[in-house]
Structure 1
Amino acid sequence: MKHTTWTTLPILAVLLVACGSAPTPADHDRMAAEMFKTSFQDKGIAKLDRLDQDEANRLCSAADTAGRPLDEKLARAIEAASLKTIPLPADGRFLGDWKQGEALAQSGRGLTWTDDAKTANGGNCYNCHQISKEEISFGTLGPSLYNYGKLRGVSDPHAAASQAIVGYTWGKLWNARAYNACSQMPRVGHAGILNEQQLKHIMALLLDPQSPVNR
């Protein structure tokens, strides 16, 4: 018979308390948090602080667990606060090289415990989106981005008529919560997953008329 280890005691304590009555959604969240904290450990660049929820995550998770949408007032407050975190490009230019953008969209490397912190991360965009028609392997968690710029009438990303779409796309990539409080899209700029120049390359992939996305 195996002996109970000290690391399992917090989980057992939570389970025993929960046995006294039907577990509430808060009980489930608490048990899940305990299990995560005792099952993971710091390793390489992957630290336990990744398990910490910010206030927006906590509110969105609670609403999801309860099976109801987030309160409208809270949602607008999260979006407004998130919008303030989005900086404009330092040089005022939003587009980089779409070819480098395609390479970033294809790459899923980065942020795992086996990765070096000095190694550039990929965008892993194809994991959730269709982007170019040449790539036949892609996820469907997010909408198709094929013809992204073309469908939105962006024939010249630098033209004044295109600036609203350019600005929206930049903001969506930087911090998607500015437009959807409980968005599950990674906040690739805000979280430091991609740097400013990498984001410019992704922007070019989506908006440059010469990109395979818009041909």
Structure 2
Amino acid sequence: MKPITLALAGVLGFATPLAWAGNADLDAKFKELVDRSFKTTGIAQKERMIQLDFQKLCSALEAGEKVDPKKIEELRQAQEQTIRWPSDGKFLGNWKEGEKIAQSGRGLTWTDNPDTVNGGGCYNCHQMDQKELSYGNIGPSLSGYGKLRGNSEEVLKYAWRQIWNSKSFNLCSSMPRFGDAGILTEQQIKDVMGYLFDPESPVNKNHK
């Protein structure tokens, strides 16, 4: 075990994720340990090491713990309440700016300056453009996203909600909470939406 792992194990007494999630004393000790052992550098906040309630539950599920389905649904509904729709009612922005955001993995690391503009890093998990040579496959291909689905209000709202906080659909989704966690601004999300839906975007124009 690495030193930090040993330190955490000593504080937590090798508690299981579910036991930890329901133990306020262990929570307090862990937060105290993080506060004492780590420091915020640049825009990488040490508070990001503290799991939120739904993250604790998902860790418990990953560890094979039995979790009450009602609790899962309760936390999913709480995440659904975080959704914020476009302030001006417009879902689509500039697809060219959206492409830049989707292809940028910058932001939120200790080497970034506070004024660093965050990227979406969409390429890490999705194929966006069929002409791309390298892309991740953790998530489904998004090639032809708008071309295949159209741009009805229902489809636009689904995509917006997925980007803003995918946990509102699937509590343990691997997709970041781009809007809810403040990773991307409202305008950036609009631009990514433009990249997904605009007919002239490579996402749709290069789809065959």
Deviation, 1:176, is 0.5
Say if 2:104 is the partner of 1:107: yes
Q: Deviations over 1:158-188 (max 9, x none)?
A: xxxx111100100010011110011111000
Match of 1:189 in 2: 179
Q: How does 1:35-114 map to 2 (within 5 A)?
A: 37=34, 40-66=38-64, 70-114=67-111
Q: Map 1:1-215 onto structure 2 (within 5 A).
A: 11=7, 14=10, 25-26=16-17, 37=34, 40-66=38-64, 70-152=67-149, 154=150, 157=151, 162-215=152-205
Question: 2: CA distance between counterparts of 1:79 and 1:48?
Answer: 25
Code of the residue aligned with 1:56 in structure 2: it is F
Shift of 1:44: 1.8
Instruction: Indicate conservation of the 8 Å contact 2:162/2:169, yes or no.
Output: yes
Aligned residues: 193
Q: Is the 8 A contact 1:25 1:66 kept in 2?
A: no
3-state SS of 2:73 partner:
helix
Q: Within 2, Cα distance between the matches of 1:149 and 1:136? A: 21
How many Å separate the matches in 2 of 1:177 and 1:98? Answer: 25
Partner Cα separation in structure 1 for residue 132 and residue 38 of structure 2: 35
Q: Which amino acid aligns with 2:183?
A: I
Gaps spanning 5+ residues in structure 1: where?
1-6
Aligned to 1:3: none
Q: Within 1, Cα distance between the matches of 2:74 and 2:19?
A: 27
Cα pair distance change 1:148/1:71, threshold 3 Å: farther
In the superposition, the TM-score normalised over structure 1's length comes to 0.79
Q: Secondary structure at the match of 2:63?
A: helix
TM-superposed CA distance for 1:27, in Å, is 10
Give me the whole-angstrom Cα distance separating, in 2, the residues matched to 1:41 and 1:48.
6
Per-residue CA deviation, residues 165-215 of structure 1 (Å, 9 max, x unaligned), is 100100010011110011111000000000000000000111112211112
Is the 1:173–1:187 contact (alpha carbons within 8 Å) kept by the matching residues of 2?
yes
Check 1:109–1:73 CA distance in 2 against 1; reply closer, same or farther (3 A cut). Answer: same
> Contact conserved, 1:133 with 1:213, CA < 8 A, in 2?
yes
1:12 and 1:139 mapped to 2: Cα distance? 32
User: Do 1:46 and 1:113's aligned partners in 2 also have CA atoms closer than 8 Å?
Assistant: yes
Counterparts of 1:26 and 1:182 in 2: how far apart (Å)?
15
1:147 and 1:214 in contact (8 A); partners too: yes
Report the Cα offset of residue 59 of structure 1.
0.9
Question: Does the C-alpha gap of structure 1 residues 204 and 42 become closer, same or farther in structure 2, counting only changes over 3 Å?
Answer: same
User: In 1, are the aligned partners of 2:17 and 2:56 still within 8 Å (CA)?
Assistant: no
The 3-state SS of whatever aligns with 1:139 is coil
CA distance in 1, matches of 2:62, 2:9: 26
* Secondary structure of 2:105's aligned partner: coil
TM-score, with structure 2 as normaliser:
0.82
Partners in 2 of 1:209 and 1:72 — Cα distance?
41
CA radius of gyration, larger in = 1
